[in-house]
Structure formats: structure tokens, C-alpha cells
Structure 1
Amino acid sequence: MEKYEKIRVVGRGAYGIVHLCQRLSDKKLFIIKQIPVEQMTKDERQAALNEVKVLSMLNHINIIEYYENFLEDKALMIVMEYAPGGTLLDYLQSRNGQLLDEEEILKFFAQMLLSLQHVHSKQILHRDLKTQNILLDKKKELVKIGDFGISKVLSSKSKAFTVVGTPCYISPELCEGKPYNQKSDIWALGCVLYELASLKRAFEATTLPALILKIMRGTFSPISDVYSVELRSLILSMLHLDPNKRPHINQIMAQPIVINALMYLHTDMGSVPCTRICRPLSNMPSSSRGRTAVKGGNSARGRSLIQALSTVFSWGGGVNTPIKLPLPSSETQVIQVSTGRTQKAAVTKNGRLFFWESSGVSSESIIPGAVDSGTNIPVYVPRYLEGQAAVTIHHVACGDLFNACLTDRGILMTYGSGANGCLGHGNYQDVAQAKIVEALLGYEVVQVSCGASHVLAVTNEHEVFSWGRGDNGELGLNNQESYPCPQEIPIAGEEMLPSHVYCGVDCSMIITQDGQLLACGNNRYNKLGLDVIDESGTSISTVEEQTVFTPVRSYPITNIKVKHVALGTSHSAILSEEGECYMLGTNQFGQLGCDDTLLPRQPYHITLFNDKIHTLACGDTFTVAALQDGEVYTWGKGSRGRLGRPDQQSNLPMKVNITGEEPFQVVCISCSHGNTLLATKRKY
């Protein structure tokens, strides 16, 4: 809400509060609907998502425009166009019983027809047309249909069944519980047209049963004979009890009195267009916004006597030995870290997300935490994520120039570069501030992983979604297409219940609830273990690429329960629940941890650590492992500080000198390309 100022509350409903707000940059007025999704059930969240989904599909001068949405104070904020003329109901009540001229009625009605035609052309049912949901401009000439909260998108030209809508405007077929389609919207529009001509509702009663009985009988007071026979006949046809005998919207628009009104819209009223130029849903504010000093500063003076609860180390990218990154305060407890090609991120125990910025950041950078890749050691400054407010962040994942963060209630937000559609917003636009992935709002996401240009997310009900670039089949969708919006991945076998997802540069892996491992994407050097290899080590068949998630088939991976996976560019590491570590892929730079650079495609078991590995990560040509006692080892290519020591290459694991004031335990490791980020905590 940094861009807006609340003026007053203009409405309250079952799902939230409606605010009139002013944009600070240009003083323009907007309506912001505040929906507290954090306290909602999955179904209620899906209903909130539905309004955003429907609004974003519509683009018409006579429909309230949707601008953007964002998460603020644990609520979904939907920014929409403001109609200063109030509702059509208010206007009719202000008439004090004085009937409208037929010309004015038709002027309003023609605009409603144009908007409803646009809605129906998108296979959408409004399902709640009424005078309270029809808004007017300041001059009370331009009609704007709004409130699509219970609208329904039809997957085909089938019919809907759910009983929804305002009782006075619901159709007879809906009263009977029969399936319905666009003809129910025609009935509701007929009720609105009747109201325009009579200043009262067509169907009213003191009780719901009496109201339904009136609707089922189709009984209503006759319309004043001051209006033309054509208008009265049109209302009667739209309120026909048989939906098959109600006119289609195109038939209504073809009637002479309506054609004249439409002509008026395009001539005397000023050529009202049917569509407007599309604009990005999110503007790109300056990255310098909000870059004030973090409370408490970053100087160690005055804090040196206070031992930090957490320590975060970084190396690579020209930094040859681990450097300690500054934290927002000595009380900061880091529970998870993630690094991308140009950014470093951390999540704290109290649910705050922050990034480290360096002195080499361009002022035009759109990614908080983007760092300089020069040879000089940069000076890092921690910055909290802008606009996080009261939202509790549970997990963060970094890709190439984009980030994904997950709240404790399972709401996923992404921002950064929209190239390849990896933000999941249905387009390829860049987003400067964290924005909700609307397609997943109806799900509770429990974990997310970002590759270089694709993303996987898993829900609490074991559904898996993927989006972004799919050149190598890494999306698991049985093709090599790219998708800018989350797609549910089909998982073969009801016993396969995905619990964790992992993304590499051109591949993906899934760990199931019972420790089985599935993989898809590029399998060069058998880095995914998709080759069929038997217990004797004999290679029966090789796989170079797989576009659907398939169980790993290389022994002994087939016989272990997998706990953790790390994916590099051309190698991977698999950690079992017992602490066994198996390396797969090429050993060209010693990244598998052995001297033999010409290893066949079989998994290599690292026995040096006596199966005491706590966690590990893979970079482009190197591997990092943390033991249960806190020791850290690296191996592989050592150029530009990849191994955390001056050595240029090490085929065998070697210890990294990580110093701490007290004994510590490694919490999390993240590698991307040639960089490593490692978080520790004090042992109590």
C-alpha cells in the first residue's frame, strides 16, 4: 500500500472491506478491495482468486477495470477502477418515483448489453447482475459492470449448477436447481431492464419461499404504457420462464430499438470503444524506493560484545575464502538461505525476508539483493523485502534474476524478471514487488524451488505445479513447451505422493512421501539416474532426456529412501535418510569427489564421511557438504573461489575453514553457478 493512501471505507461484504484510495504519484482515485485470505479456508481463497482471474480476463470500457493485486497485512488487495457516479440502484432511488425517459433507459441498457456480450464471449457467466453491481461515471452517462466475485468461467459451452446470486434476480431454472448457462444472465438483465422502466424490482416478497414462488410463476406488475410496445415486449421476452425461449444476446442487440441505442453510443455519445489498450498489471517503480538504512545499521561497533544467534557465510564469484555477511541485527535468526545468479536471500525465524545488496549494484536493478560479480570483495548491506508488512515468510527460492517467496499460510509470491514466464503470472512482464501467483491462490503451497528459468511448487495435498522454460522437458508436462502460468503435473501412480521438489538448470526432481525419487529433463552423463543400471553395475539402457517425471532407475538409488537432492549443471548429489551420499553425472572437474575423471554413468558412493553428511548443495562444477558436527567440505573446480579456498581444483573433498565464536551447526546451504551461501546457528 506504499503507492496508495486510504480515504474512506465505501463498502463491506462477506469476504472483506472496500476502500476508496488515492494513488500518491498522480492523485488518481481507485477502489481497493481488501480480502483477508490468510484467515480463509482453501475454498474461500479460491473464491477470492476467482474474482481476480475473471477481472484479469476482461477488457471493456463498460466493465470495471482491474489494475493489479498484492498481499498486504495478510490480505489480498485487488486494485480496481473507481466509478464516482455510484450505483445504478442509488440513481434510481434518487428519482423519487419519477420515471426515466425511454431514451435514457435504452442508453444504459445498450451499454450493459455490450459489456455482457464481452463477458459471454470469454465463456464467463456473471451470475450476480443487479442494479447494486452496475456503476456509473461522474456524469451518470457511462455504465460500468462490476463485482465478479461469484462469476464462473465455463471450460466449455456446458452449463453450471451451483445456486448463487441475489434472490430477487435469480432465474426460474436456478430456483429449480436445474443446470443453467448464459440465459440466466439474460434473465437477470431483464430484471434490471424492468427496474429501469418501473423503478422497482420485478420480483419481491417478504419471505424467500414467496419470492421463489413468484419467480417460478413469472408474475410481476405490468410496465407503464408510457413506454413503447417494443420495449415492453423486449422485457417480457427476457423474462420468459423457459430459458430456451429467451433471446440470445445477439438477438437482443439486433432489435430495432436496441440498434438505435447502440448507434447513439457510437455517434452522439462519442464513439465508445469496446476495448481499451492493455497495460502492464504492475508498473516498475524506481529501485531506489525505500532504500533507507536498516534499523540498527550494519556497523559491528557496539554489537561485537553480543554473540549472534546466526551467522551467514558467502564465497565464490571472485571471493576465495568465506566472508561473514552482516545481519540486520544480532538477534536475527536465519532459518533458510537461497542464492541465485545475482542475488542472495535469507528468511528469519520470525518470518522476515531480507536480501544482501552490495556496493556494486546498479541503481536500475530490479532485483533486491543483486550483487557485483567483480573481483573486488563487495561490501554487503542487508535489506528487508519491501512491502512485506505483516506477512510471515516461510521459504524463499532464487532463480536467475527472479525470486519466489512462500508465506506461512501457503501463498506463493514471485517477482523480478518475467523472461520465460518464470514468475507464473500468465505473462512475460517484469515485476518489481512481490506479487501473488494468482493461479495457486486456491492451494496451500508448502515448498517451492527455482531453476535458472523454471519453477516447481508442491502443495499440502501433494499436487505439483510447474511453469517457465521447458526446452529440455524439465517441466514434466510431456512436452518441451514453455508456460507462463502454473500447470499441474500428472504423477503416475496413486501411491506417489510428492513432498519435495528440486529444480536444476535444465532438469527437475521430486521426492515422494515414502522417499522415492522421480526425475525429468536433461539426463546427460546420467546426472538424474534415469539410466537403467542393475545391481551388478551393468548399464542396460541409457536415457538422454525425459519429458515426464519418471522413477530413478540406477542402482543403488532405487533401493534407498531419499532425504535430500542437490542439482548442479552437469552433476547431482543424492542424500539418503541414513546419511549416505551418492554422486551422479560428469566428474570432469572432480565435482563427484573422486580422482577418476572418466567415471562411467553409475552412481558414485562417497564413503569418506562415514555417512554423516547433514546437508549438501551443488554448484555449476563443484559440490559443498556439511557434516553433522558442523564441518564443511568442498570439492570440484576451484576457480574464482568456488571451493572457499585458494585451491584451483580438488577432486577429493577438502575442509573449508569456517570460523565461529562458538560451536555451530549448519542450517542451510545454497549454491548457484559459482556462488555459495551457508547459514549456521549456535549450538546451545
Structure 2
Amino acid sequence: MEKYEKIRVVGRGAYGTVYLCRRLADNKHVIIKQIPVEQMTKEERQAALNEVKVLSMLDHPNIIEYYENFLEDKALMIVMEYAQGGTLFEYLQQRNELLLEEEEILRFFAQMLLSLQHVHSKQILHRDLKTQNILLNKKKEAVKISDFGISKFLSSKSKAYTVVGTPCYISPELCEGKPYPVLKSDIWALGCVLYELVSLKRAFEAQNLPALILKIMRGTISPISEDFSEELRKLILSMLHLDPNKRPDISQIMAQPLVLQALMSLYTDQGKVTCRRIPKSLSNYSGQNRGRVSRGSSITSKGFFASYRHSSTSKTSPLQSRVYCWGGGISAPHLLPLPSSDTHITEVSTGRTQKAAVTKNGRLLLWETPSVGAEPSMPGATGAGGPAFIPRYLEGQSAVTIKHVSCGDLFTACLTDRGILMTFGSGANGCLGHGNYNDVSQAKIVEDLLGFEVSQVSCGASHVMAVTNEHDVFSWGRGDNGRLGLGHQESCCSPCRVPLMPETQPISALCGVDCSMLLVEPMSTLFCCGSNRYNKLALDRESEHVEEVHSFCPVQSLPLASQAIAMVAMGTSHAAAIMSNGECYTFGSNQFGQLGIPANGDNNMPTRVLSLSKIAVSMVSCGDTFTVAIMKDGKIYSWGKAARGRLGRLDCEDSQPAPVVFKDVGRNVMSVVSISCSHGTTLLGMRCT
């Protein structure tokens, strides 16, 4: 609390105390919710952590902004935006039975719709919408939704069963304990709030809980004053329909002429200066963007390409980062387009068809190669059609910051700065970790890992591994050869905790085609599982060959078994490791010269790449039959099978390590920040130094 000064207590709840505080850095007033986690049950602690996770994902002008959280005096402190206007409940109580004008009601309601649309777009169900959880700004014009303590991350299942929320606002299907369409429960609660705005009293009230439930089950409400339009009264009744399947969804509510006019007024009357920046598509209310308001609203695809073409041809703004690819028929390094010249790339990853990168500001960038008139080949990307290698930002990512990405075969996993893992793409083999085999077009949270802070993720051809900040390891996907490290060969479509030897502390995982590796502290040793064909896992001893292992065990081949390892990479049938002193060792199959050493017969033991001995190696990556290494001096070497441009160089007859030449770098000094090889393709991220 050294950064904040407490002013007064503004509320007390079941989980803790709420303080109004002043942030010393800028004298800004903030709210700090103090939750004594040590005194709570496991369920109560989970609810507190859930609120932090939900708030960190949401970024919308009509949702209370989350700043940070920290632990102090055995309590979780959640720092949030301060809404000076108090709650909507208090505002209505102060009316002294003087009804609101319909225009004001619709202005409030439109903002609630937009905020709830944003919440639902993140696959989150609020579950406790009520006037006490709806806050107002100082002028009592802007709505701020708050209190996400019992919110639920939606799974692929379409029904929910849990009875939660404030009794006066719970839906009839909840009262009956029946499974219900998850989003329609929030629509019922929003209908109750709208009724309260119109009548200044709750839709359902009774002296005791049984009587209240009976009222809700019957849908009995007092008549709405005829001072309000028939359209508004019909809208309320439709939202309070006893059959959840007959209640309108958010898009249907927004399409109502009455609401449409309120949304239009909201865009044009509030923030009069900035409304000029709203895309024309919003004024037409077409497609998925109907009625959506968010900070930093994305421009239309046409506007995006216009912006891109302008930036790519600008001579006054040199590129801050460059991304090159080769292989798959591209024989020399090919410069991929970036959205703008000031895009900073921090990491790249490539899969069988995907090419992805993470930017410095936390955006996930994807490149598509669609054919004319075809749908986007990259799941989760926006827009369609156009020339080869079209850059796209991941759709629906405005509220999260991506720090890490990994591509598998036809699917992708990305990790937020809050340790939340999201996946999208093909659901074959259960690689998305959502408990099923369904494809997902937009990034979706892996719910089973919400109770953990994931620090690193790796995607193989058909399985995934995730490492948490507590050094736990989870795996899922295809299980044959024991690649999941679970002690068996069964496949899993949900994350499963990997059993490890005591006192091992994994810091990173690496998934291959049919095997996996873990880099483990404190001695930077390597643990492996799965297929050890050609000794690509370095599990062989001089006189003993291991075919496959189903649980993680330490490498046995020297010198990997006795020296600290800085980095490791895996291809289809070979692997490479960089030792702590910068020496590069390769092992496994050398059928195409992918080890960078002379033909060695049946000897697949780790061997140093002597042609790289003059300068230390800083990075290495392996494809199917080739290897690429980055030297400390910035030079890039490749070797192995040269077919279809795998080596990125024209001297295709020599499979020994040789430099890759970049002809278009010019006078800029570029350094490699990330490299990724998959199948026959290489993706390289560089930045100007």
C-alpha cells in the first residue's frame, strides 16, 4: 500500500472491505477492494481470484477498469477505477418515486447492452447483474458495470446449472434447477434492471425466499406505467419471458428500433469530438460489429489495407522490425509485410500452415495466404481475400495483452501477460484443451488452467504442454508413444497434470512430432518422454538403446547428461542443443545432413557441430530435415535437406552449415529476436538495433 493513501471505507461485503484511496503517483482516486484470503474457504478464494482474472480481460468504457492487484497483510488487494456517481440503485432511491424520462432510461440501457456484449464476447457470464453492481460516473451519465466475483468463464457446453446471483434477479430456470442457456440468464437479469429503471422498484420482491421464487416462477410483475412507449414495455416483457429460448439475445435487442436509436444517440451525443473516428460500418450497424464500443476500436478491413499499403510504401518511416520466411517453395528469405513501419516484433512461431508473431504492445499478428475468393486460412483472423502473406491481427483481442505464441499443426496457442492460456484452430486430437474435439475460430480460454498462472506453452504436431509459474506441467492432445509424459499412451482433450520427479522445477517445455522435452532447474538439465527413434531424445547410452518412454526421465547421452543446457530444439527425427558455453550439439537422424556433421553411420549420439566452433551459438531451431542456427555475431546458418527452399539459400548442393544471405537489409543493423522452424518452413523475427 506504499503507492496508495487510504481516504475512507466506502463499503463492506461478504468477502471484504472496499476503500476509497488516492494513488500517490498522480493523485488519482481509486477503489481498493481488500479481501482477507487466508480466512476464506477454497471456494471463496477462487471467487476472489476469478474477479481478478475477469477484470484483467475486460477493457470497455462501460466496465469498471482494473489497474492491478497485490498481496498485503495476508489479504488480496484489487485496485480498480473509482466511479464517483455511486450505484444505480442509490440513484433510483434518490428519485423519490419521480419516474425517469424514457430517453434517460434508454441511454443507461444502451450502455449496459454494450458492456454486456463485451463481457459475453470474452466467453464470460456475469451472473450477478443488479442495480447495486451498476455504477455511475460523476455526472451520472455513464454506466460502469462492476463486481465480477462470481462470473463464469463459458465452456463449449451450451448449458449451465449453478444457482448463483442475487435472489431478486435470478431467472426461473435457475429457481427450478434446470440446465439453462448460459447467456439467457444474464438477459433475464438485465430485464429486471430495465424494469427497475422504468418503475423504480424491483420486478420481483417478496417477504421470504419461497414466496419470491414462486413469483419468479410465475413471472408475475406489476404493470408498467403507460407513460412509457409500447415498444419499451414489450421489450421488457420479452426479456422476462419464462422460456429462456424465447428471450432475445443481445444482437436481437440491439436491432430493436427503440434501442437502435438510443445506440445511435450514444455514439453521436457522447464524446462529440472523438465520434468522427468511429468507422462507417458502426453507423450502419451491420455484421458482428453492430453497436460495439471499445477503446481503440479496430478499423474495417479496407481501412486496414489502405493503412498497410501506405505504411509499406513510405520512404520516411524505416521498418523497426522485420519478419522473414523461407521454405515451402520460397528459396530465399522473403520479407513479410507488417501492419505499420513502427510494429515491434518480439516473438515468432510457425506451424504447418500458420505464421504468427507477438508485437511489443501485446498484439497477436497472423499472416494469411488465401486464394482469390477463399475464406481466411488462418482461424481467428479478421478480413478475407487479397495477395499472399496478408497480415491480420487476431480478432477480439482488444482487452488482452499477448506475450507468447506457439503454433502446432492447424492450431495455435497464445498466452496473456496475466498467465491465461487461449487456443484456436483445429480441434483434432483435442489439442485445444477445451474438453472436446471441436474447431474454434476465435481464441478461447483453456478453462481448466484458469486456476494457474501459465508461464510458457509449446505446441507440437498434435499435442500441447504448458508450464506454470509454480513449475507445474500440464499436457493434452494425442498420447501415443507416451508423448504426454503421463505414464500411458492415452489421448486427452483437457489439460492433465504431468507427474514429475520430486524437486524438479521445469522452466520450459518443448513439444515435437511424437515426443516432448522439459528444461529443468536448478542445473538446467533436460528431461524427455515419447519416441526416442534415432536417439533424438538423447536417452541412449553407449551400449543401450531406448525406443520410447512414457514418463519424463533425464537424458542419458553425454555430454548432455553432464553439462548445463541453455536451449534445445526438436525436428521430426533430430534435435539440437546449445550448451551454457555456446557450443551446439546435434543428435538423431543425419539422413539429410540435418545434424551439420559428416555422415556418422549408425552413431546418433550428441556430436558438436565443429564448423560453428569459432563463434558461440545463441539460438537454434529444427525443421523436418534441416536446422537453422543464430550466432552471437548475428550471422544465420542453415544446413540439411535443401528441397523446396528449406535452407533459404541458393547453394543447394552443400548440406553443411553455411550462411543465409539477406539482400534487402540495407544499411540497417538488424538483430534476431526469435526463430521458429516447422516442417519445411522457417520464420525469423528481427529488429533494428
Match of 2:320 in 1: 309
Taking the aligned partners of 1:667 and 1:8, their CA distance within structure 2 comes to 38
Q: State the secondary structure of the residue aligned to 2:309.
A: coil
Match of 1:601 in 2: 604
Q: CA deviation at 1:585?
A: 0.7
Q: CA deviation at 1:601?
A: 2.5
Residue 651 of structure 2 is aligned to residue 651 of structure 1: no
Residue 595 of structure 2 is aligned to residue 584 of structure 1: no
Contact 1:590 1:650 in 2 (8 A): no
Taking the aligned partners of 2:438 and 2:288, their CA distance within structure 1 comes to 14
Match of 2:22 in 1: none
Contact 1:636 1:649 in 2 (8 A): no
* Structure 1 residues 143 and 644: CA distance shift in structure 2, 3 A: closer
Deviation readout 1:251-271 (Å, 9 max, x if unpaired)? xxxxxxxxxxxxxxxxxxxxx
Contact 2:413 2:457 in 1 (8 A): yes
Contact 1:66 1:81 in 2 (8 A): no
Deviation readout 1:368-404 (Å, 9 max, x if unpaired)? 599xxxxxx9732211111110311101111111111
Q: State the secondary structure of the residue aligned to 1:557.
A: coil
Contact 1:108 1:141 in 2 (8 A): yes
Contact 2:124 2:154 in 1 (8 A): no
Q: State the secondary structure of the residue aligned to 1:566.
A: strand
Opposite residue 562 of structure 2, the aligned amino acid is N
Which of structures 1 and 2 has the larger relative contact order (alpha carbons within 8 angstroms, sep 6+)? 1
Taking the aligned partners of 1:503 and 1:640, their CA distance within structure 2 comes to 24
Opposite residue 438 of structure 1, the aligned amino acid is E
Taking the aligned partners of 2:308 and 2:387, their CA distance within structure 1 comes to 17
Unaligned runs of 5+ in 1: 36-43, 69-77, 110-135, 145-283, 371-376
* Structure 1 residues 108 and 356: CA distance shift in structure 2, 3 A: closer
Taking the aligned partners of 1:140 and 1:352, their CA distance within structure 2 comes to 41
Match of 2:488 in 1: 479
CA RMSD for the aligned pairs?
A: 4.5
Residue 622 of structure 2 is aligned to residue 516 of structure 1: no
Taking the aligned partners of 1:564 and 1:503, their CA distance within structure 2 comes to 14
Q: State the secondary structure of the residue aligned to 1:652.
A: coil
Deviation readout 1:26-58 (Å, 9 max, x if unpaired)? xx9x995299xxxxxxxx999756887999664
Q: State the secondary structure of the residue aligned to 1:296.
A: helix
Residue 554 of structure 2 is aligned to residue 551 of structure 1: yes
Residue 325 of structure 2 is aligned to residue 318 of structure 1: no
Match of 2:510 in 1: 502
Deviation readout 1:156-210 (Å, 9 max, x if unpaired)? xxxxxxxxxxxxxxxxxxxxxxxxxxxxxxxxxxxxxxxxxxxxxxxxxxxxxxx
Match of 2:645 among 628, 638, 641: 641
Number of matched residues? 480
Query: What is the percent sequence identity of the aligned residues?
Result: 46
Taking the aligned partners of 1:384 and 1:103, their CA distance within structure 2 comes to 48
Contact 1:19 1:33 in 2 (8 A): no
Larger Rg: 1
Residue 460 of structure 2 is aligned to residue 345 of structure 1: no
Unaligned runs of 5+ in 2: 1-57, 65-77, 81-86, 88-110, 129-146, 163-172, 219-236, 246-286, 290-298
Taking the aligned partners of 2:213 and 2:317, their CA distance within structure 1 comes to 75
Match of 2:671 in 1: 665
Taking the aligned partners of 2:239 and 2:612, their CA distance within structure 1 comes to 74
* Structure 1 residues 460 and 311: CA distance shift in structure 2, 3 A: same
Structure 2-normalised TM-score?
A: 0.61
Match of 2:393 among 360, 373, 384: 384
Opposite residue 628 of structure 2, the aligned amino acid is V
* Structure 1 residues 361 and 530: CA distance shift in structure 2, 3 A: farther
Match of 1:572 in 2: 575
* Structure 1 residues 137 and 548: CA distance shift in structure 2, 3 A: farther
Taking the aligned partners of 1:56 and 1:331, their CA distance within structure 2 comes to 45
Residue 342 of structure 2 is aligned to residue 336 of structure 1: no
Match of 1:33 among 105, 115, 126: 126
* Structure 1 residues 329 and 9: CA distance shift in structure 2, 3 A: closer
Match of 1:679 among 671, 685, 689: 685
Match of 1:82 among 188, 196, 213: 188
Taking the aligned partners of 1:424 and 1:304, their CA distance within structure 2 comes to 45
Match of 1:444 in 2: 453
Structure 1-normalised TM-score?
A: 0.61
Deviation readout 1:459-488 (Å, 9 max, x if unpaired)? 111111111111121111111111111111
Contact 2:369 2:377 in 1 (8 A): no
Q: State the secondary structure of the residue aligned to 2:534.
A: helix
Q: State the secondary structure of the residue aligned to 1:298.
A: helix
Taking the aligned partners of 1:347 and 1:107, their CA distance within structure 2 comes to 49
Residue 473 of structure 2 is aligned to residue 464 of structure 1: yes
Taking the aligned partners of 2:154 and 2:312, their CA distance within structure 1 comes to 52
Q: CA deviation at 1:19?
A: 4.7
Match of 2:281 in 1: none
Taking the aligned partners of 1:8 and 1:565, their CA distance within structure 2 comes to 46
* Structure 1 residues 20 and 594: CA distance shift in structure 2, 3 A: same
Q: State the secondary structure of the residue aligned to 1:558.
A: coil
Q: State the secondary structure of the residue aligned to 1:640.
A: helix
Q: State the secondary structure of the residue aligned to 1:559.
A: coil
Taking the aligned partners of 2:328 and 2:210, their CA distance within structure 1 comes to 75
Counting only pairs closer than 5 Å after superposition, residues 191-590 of structure 1 correspond to structure 2 as 291-292=301-302, 293-294=304-305, 296-298=307-309, 302-360=313-371, 363-365=374-376, 367-368=378-379, 379-494=388-503, 496-514=504-522, 515-531=524-540, 533=541, 538-539=542-543, 541-590=544-593
Q: State the secondary structure of the residue aligned to 1:329.
A: coil
Contact 2:159 2:179 in 1 (8 A): no
Match of 1:65 in 2: 180
Deviation readout 1:186-238 (Å, 9 max, x if unpaired)? xxxxxxxxxxxxxxxxxxxxxxxxxxxxxxxxxxxxxxxxxxxxxxxxxxxxx
Q: CA deviation at 1:83?
A: 5.6
Residue 622 of structure 2 is aligned to residue 612 of structure 1: no
Taking the aligned partners of 2:589 and 2:628, their CA distance within structure 1 comes to 16
Deviation readout 1:591-641 (Å, 9 max, x if unpaired)? 001221524121111122225111010000000111111111111111000
Q: CA deviation at 1:562?
A: 1.1
